[in-house]
């Protein structure tokens, strides 16, 4: 009997431990959420209409004088804050400055509603990380999460609460300057990295004083701007919208992003900023998004330019009804919504929904309890050694080795004579576009990184223009040529008509490479860019090419780490590198067409004057070691509808150096109710392998990964054959196939 009682007691104690009676994390979260809603409703009930419009109004601080519609003076800004007619400010930075303005809102306004301070913290704040497209080349979610977390810690120490990032626009056109700001051409990679960025910025809880509210942007389809010309119109079918452009935003919303920003572009005739389908139907209804939507800068007023609104009154009405909750910079909401309510063109209920969403975020951010920034934090947070090391590691992981004939790289650190030449050898352009408060003076240039790496006995020759570079090359045993593009030729408004190398300081960069290569010394090219560049001659004639990107403050050190073997590059391209501008658009997850390209057949889908393949494909990147793939195993030859499939393989380091390999899993739905891409990335894993080490890598293909929006515009997995590839890039890999079959009818079992 005693034993029975003991064991029963043990079972009870075990169960009690497993299911504690005190409210668990989930219960607590529900209580907090309920309390937040109560506080929102209580505050909303006390607000005048004017004060409600104030919460929907965001302005740039007067310092951004180049912004149209900007506040004319500090006095005007203070007055608007005091009267409760501004809910958020952009570009006010510095804890003292933010606190001073916050004090007006919290201590002098009638309802004491705190301000949200926002800024574009895209790839770092003071510690500038590689540009997002470069960090995507790491194919490492933890790298992006950590970089975003550091950025949030630095920015929040400067008084900021909200960043306009991550940018999740799918970019398939290198002419588009903002391809730099996203994570490339693939929906799955962008989804995984975008969710990681949101978690990094927002930390475990938005009320953490070091967290930033994230703002996935630009919703939606901005990257499909016709001709790669920024702000241009887009025509995107609903299938392509739902299967390509929206999934990253769905993933970011799923990661808890607090806000979303509208896109400038006209989407199929309805500008995104007035697009009911995007915001009311998809974001707020289908996805049940409970944060708020902010317009892009002046985008509500620009509905007039679009020819979609006749005047500001109409622009205010259509944006609000479409689900845009806050007006960035145009003041159209503040100036026009009062009349719209009086004329019953919008109801106060719609206004209240917008204001509720804004207040909800302010409560979630903890601003009512802790409106002021800690002014002592800055000194110990900004540019800390740990932050700089994190930036260096992110830059290393972003590097992509494009070519390395006869293992020319890595170079020896103690060679007698080395030339480092080209217009970007000692350039600070590595900070990239959208550098927030990053100071270019803090950039470690490629030359600086190399100087701190090589032996002090090495005779270093440098040169910028062609003559200097040729002379330096003649007197050296090896040459490193650093070419690329300026940060200002990328980013917003940074679209180019060509992705061939631009002249820099009057120097024809390709001509410089040709002239130096002709000297006949071992030659390495380092490319520092924020977009794919078309470099066919260089790719053909230069034995070693390292893509260093605009890799932030520590870029020069990271690039030198790789050039001299202290780091083995393992990055992979997040975007296809075309052979020429004319080959655009070219991306790996394209449709097959009825006449897929065949080099030896005229009437197939290709150009006559260049191969149908890109210069370097999506997912491509080499290493100083080599990896062998084998033993691809599929868990079954067929799975029932709704089932999942395990895929495994072995990857082995067959070289002499340790290195990272990004193992990639692709599928193809061979025949479906709408045409499907020839390949789609559905899994990846960056694994580190010592020489001779072998690892088994496993993936699970779930219905979520196999499904797509089909002919009926329903997300579904369809019956039929699927192909699977696992490999080192999107161009090849071990191939397998499986079939999705109907599940046996359940009632058939009952009959038996
Ligand atoms: C810009 C950009 C947007 C940015 C905003 C605030 O026009 O399109 O990405 O967040 O204005 O600077």
CB distance 120 to ligand 1 below 6 Å: yes
Ligand 1 centroid from CA 399, angstroms: 27
- Mean pLDDT score of the chain, rounded to an integer? 95
Residue 674 · residue 696 · CB < 8 Å: no
**Residue 703 in this model has a pLDDT that exceeds 90:** yes
Q: CA–CA separation, 465 vs 204, rounded Å?
A: 50
Which of the pair, 64 or 111, is modelled with greater confidence? 111
CB distance 164 to ligand 1 below 6 Å: yes
What would the DSSP string read from start to end of 672-739?
-SS--BS-EEEEEEEEEE-TT-EEEEEEEE-HHHH-EE-TTS-EE--SEEEEEEEESSTT--EEEEEE
Take atom 7 of ligand 1 and give the residue whose Cα is closest. Answer: 297
Ligand 1 centroid from CA 237, angstroms: 26
Which of these ranges, 26-30, 434-438, 647-651, has the smallest mean pLDDT? Answer: 26-30
How do residues 556-593 score in pLDDT, each as one tens digit?
999 999 999 999 999 999 999 999 999 999 999 999 99
**pLDDT the model gives residue 27:** 73
**pLDDT the model gives residue 20:** 44
Residue 159: band (very low, low, confident or very high) from pLDDT cuts 50, 70, 90: very high
Q: Which of 164, 176, 265 to mutate to test the pocket of ligand 1 (most atoms within 8 A of CB)?
A: 164
Ligand 1 centroid from CA 706, angstroms: 35
Mean pLDDT of 26-43: 89
Let me know if 489 is a catalytic residue. no
CB distance 680 to ligand 1 below 6 Å: no
Residue 391 · residue 553 · CB < 8 Å: yes
Residue 211: band (very low, low, confident or very high) from pLDDT cuts 50, 70, 90: very high
Q: CA–CA separation, 129 vs 438, rounded Å?
A: 9
Q: CA–CA separation, 662 vs 648, rounded Å?
A: 14
Mean pLDDT of 274-300: 98
Q: CA–CA separation, 154 vs 170, rounded Å?
A: 28
Q: Which of 58, 155, 162, 297 to mutate to test the pocket of ligand 1 (most atoms within 8 A of CB)?
A: 297
**Residue 5 in this model has a pLDDT that exceeds 50:** no
Ligand 1 centroid from CA 552, angstroms: 20
**Residue 105 in this model has a pLDDT that exceeds 50:** yes
Ligand 1 centroid from CA 120, angstroms: 7
| Sign of the alpha-carbon torsion through 262, 266, 271, 272 | negative
How do residues 519-567 score in pLDDT, each as one tens digit?
999 999 999 999 999 999 999 999 999 999 999 999 999 999 999 999 9
Q: Which ligand 1 atom is the nearest neighbour of the CA of 165?
A: 10
How do residues 224-244 score in pLDDT, each as one tens digit?
999 999 999 999 999 999 999
CB distance 230 to ligand 1 below 6 Å: no
**pLDDT the model gives residue 3:** 46
The count of C-alpha atoms lying within 13 angstroms of the C-alpha of 537, restricted to the half-sphere facing its C-beta, is: 10
CB distance 492 to ligand 1 below 6 Å: yes
The DSSP element (H or E) to which 420 belongs, if any, is strand 417-421
Q: CA–CA separation, 205 vs 696, rounded Å?
A: 35
Ligand 1 centroid from CA 286, angstroms: 26
**pLDDT the model gives residue 62:** 86
Return the number of other C-beta atoms located less than 10 Å from residue 488's C-beta.
13
Long-range contacts: 241-246, Cβ < 8 Å, 24+?
241/267, 242/709, 242/713, 242/715, 243/187, 243/708, 243/709, 244/170, 244/187, 244/589, 245/169, 245/170, 245/187, 245/220, 245/221, 246/220, 246/282
What would the DSSP string read from start to end of 266-292?
EETTEEGGG-HIIIIIIIIIIS---SE
Q: Which of 299, 330, 492 to mutate to test the pocket of ligand 1 (most atoms within 8 A of CB)?
A: 492
Ligand 1 centroid from CA 118, angstroms: 11
The DSSP element (H or E) to which 392 belongs, if any, is helix 385-398
Q: Which ligand 1 atom is the nearest neighbour of the CA of 215?
A: 10
Which pTM value belongs to this model?
0.95
Q: Which ligand 1 atom is the nearest neighbour of the CA of 167?
A: 9
CB distance 263 to ligand 1 below 6 Å: no
How do residues 597-644 score in pLDDT, each as one tens digit?
999 999 999 999 999 999 999 999 999 999 999 999 999 999 999 999
**pLDDT the model gives residue 604:** 97
Which of the pair, 496 or 17, is modelled with greater confidence? 496
CB distance 217 to ligand 1 below 6 Å: yes
Residue 475: band (very low, low, confident or very high) from pLDDT cuts 50, 70, 90: very high
How do residues 191-200 score in pLDDT, each as one tens digit?
999 999 999 9
Q: Which of 120, 177, 260 to mutate to test the pocket of ligand 1 (most atoms within 8 A of CB)?
A: 120
Ligand 1 centroid from CA 241, angstroms: 22
Q: Which ligand 1 atom is the nearest neighbour of the CA of 218?
A: 9
The DSSP bridge partners found for residue 626 are none
Take atom 1 of ligand 1 and give the residue whose Cα is closest. Answer: 297
CB distance 296 to ligand 1 below 6 Å: yes
Take atom 8 of ligand 1 and give the residue whose Cα is closest. Answer: 296
**pLDDT the model gives residue 652:** 98
Our separate counts of H helices and E strands in the chain read 24, 25
**Residue 150 in this model has a pLDDT that exceeds 50:** yes
Q: Which ligand 1 atom is the nearest neighbour of the CA of 298?
A: 7
The DSSP bridge partners found for residue 507 are 504
Ligand 1 centroid from CA 434, angstroms: 10
Catalytic residue, candidates 173, 230, 266, 296: 296
How do residues 494-518 score in pLDDT, each as one tens digit?
999 999 999 999 999 999 999 999 9
Residue 73: band (very low, low, confident or very high) from pLDDT cuts 50, 70, 90: confident
Domains located in the chain, CATH noted: 1-46+625-752 (2.60.40.10), 386-576 (3.40.50.1700)
Residue 70: band (very low, low, confident or very high) from pLDDT cuts 50, 70, 90: low
Q: CA–CA separation, 33 vs 35, rounded Å?
A: 5
Looking at residue 582, the DSSP 8-state letter turns out to be G
Share of the chain above pLDDT 70, in %: 94
Mean pLDDT of 341-351: 98
Residue 534 · residue 615 · CB < 8 Å: yes
């Amino acid at each position: 009997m005693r034993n029975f009682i003991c064991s029963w007691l043990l079972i009870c104690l075990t169960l009690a431990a497993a299911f504690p009676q005190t409210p668990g994390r989930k219960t607590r979260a529900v209580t907090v959420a309920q309390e937040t809603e109560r506080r929102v409703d209580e505050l909303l009930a006390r607000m005048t209409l004017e004060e409600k419009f104030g919460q929907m109004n965001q302005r740039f601080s007067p310092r951004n004088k180049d912004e149209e519609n900007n506040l004319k003076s500090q006095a005007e800004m203070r007055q608007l804050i005091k009267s409760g007619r501004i809910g958020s400010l952009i570009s006010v930075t510095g804890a003292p400055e933010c606190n001073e303005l916050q004090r007006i809102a919290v201590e002098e306004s009638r309802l004491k509603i705190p301000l949200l301070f926002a800024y574009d913290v895209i790839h770092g704040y003071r510690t500038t990380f590689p540009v997002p497209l470069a960090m995507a080349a790491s194919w490492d979610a933890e790298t992006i999460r950590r970089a975003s977390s550091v950025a949030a810690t630095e920015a929040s120490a400067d008084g900021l609460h909200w960043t306009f990032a991550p940018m999740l626009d799918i970019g398939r056109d290198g002419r588009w300057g903002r391809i730099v700001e996203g994570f490339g051409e693939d929906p799955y990679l962008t989804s995984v990295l975008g969710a990681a960025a949101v978690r990094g910025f927002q930390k475990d809880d938005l009320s953490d004083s070091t967290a930033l509210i994230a703002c996935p942007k630009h919703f939606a389809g901005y990257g499909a701007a016709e001709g790669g010309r920024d702000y241009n119109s887009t025509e995107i079918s609903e299938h392509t919208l739902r299967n390509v452009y929206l999934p990253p935003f769905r993933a970011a919303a799923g990661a808890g992003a607090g806000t979303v920003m509208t896109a400038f572009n006209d989407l199929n005739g309805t500008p995104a900023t007035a697009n009911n389908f995007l915001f009311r139907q998809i974001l707020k209804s289908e996805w049940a998004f409970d944060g708020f939507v902010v317009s892009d800068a002046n985008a509500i007023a620009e509905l007039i330019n679009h020819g979609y609104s006749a005047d500001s009154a109409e622009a205010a009405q259509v944006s609000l009804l479409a689900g845009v909750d806050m007006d960035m910079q145009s003041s159209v909401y503040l100036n026009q919504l009062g009349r719209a309510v009086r004329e019953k063109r919008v109801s106060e209920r719609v206004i209240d929904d917008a204001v509720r969403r804004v207040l909800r975020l302010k409560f979630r951010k903890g601003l009512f309890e802790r409106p002021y920034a800690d002014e002592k934090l800055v000194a110990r947070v900004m540019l800390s050694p740990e932050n700089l090391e994190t930036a260096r590691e992110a830059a290393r992981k972003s590097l992509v080795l494009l070519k390395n004939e006869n293992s020319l790289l890595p170079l020896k650190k103690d060679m007698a004579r080395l030339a480092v030449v080209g217009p970007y050898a000692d350039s600070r352009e590595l900070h990239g576009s959208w550098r927030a408060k990053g100071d270019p003076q803090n950039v470690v240039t490629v030359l600086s990184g190399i100087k701190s790496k090589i032996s002090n006995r090495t005779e270093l020759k440098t040169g910028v223009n062609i003559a200097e570079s040729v002379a330096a090359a003649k007197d050296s045993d090896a040459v490193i040529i650093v070419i690329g593009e300026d940060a200002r030729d990328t980013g917003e408004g940074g679209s180019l008509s060509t992705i061939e190398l631009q002249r820099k300081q009057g120097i024809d960069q390709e001509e410089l490479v040709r002239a130096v290569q002709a000297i006949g010394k071992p030659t390495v090219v380092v490319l520092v860019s924020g977009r794919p560049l078309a470099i066919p001659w260089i790719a053909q004639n230069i034995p070693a090419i390292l893509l260093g990107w605009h890799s932030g403050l520590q870029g020069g050190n990271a690039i030198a780490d790789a050039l001299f073997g202290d780091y083995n590059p393992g990055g992979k391209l997040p975007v296809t590198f075309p052979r020429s501008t004319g080959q655009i658009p070219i991306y790996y997850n394209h449709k097959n067409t009825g006449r897929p390209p065949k080099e030896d057949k005229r009437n197939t889908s290709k150009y006559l004057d260049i191969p149908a393949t890109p210069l370097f494909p999506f997912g491509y990147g080499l290493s100083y070691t080599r990896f062998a793939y084998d033993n691809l195993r599929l868990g079954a030859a067929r799975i029932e509808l709704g089932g999942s499939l395990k895929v495994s393989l072995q990857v082995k380091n067959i070289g002499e150096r340790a290195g990272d390999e990004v193992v990639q899993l692709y599928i193809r739905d061979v025949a479906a109710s709408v045409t499907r891409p020839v390949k789609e990335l559905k899994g990846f894993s960056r694994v580190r392998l010592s020489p001779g080490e072998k690892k088994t890598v496993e993936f699970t293909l779930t219905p979520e990964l196999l499904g797509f929006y089909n002919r009926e515009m329903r997300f579904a997995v369809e019956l039929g054959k699927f192909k699977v590839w696992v490999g080192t890039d999107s161009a090849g890999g071990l191939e397998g196939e499986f079939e999705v079959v109907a599940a046996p009818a359940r009632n058939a079992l009952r009959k038996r």
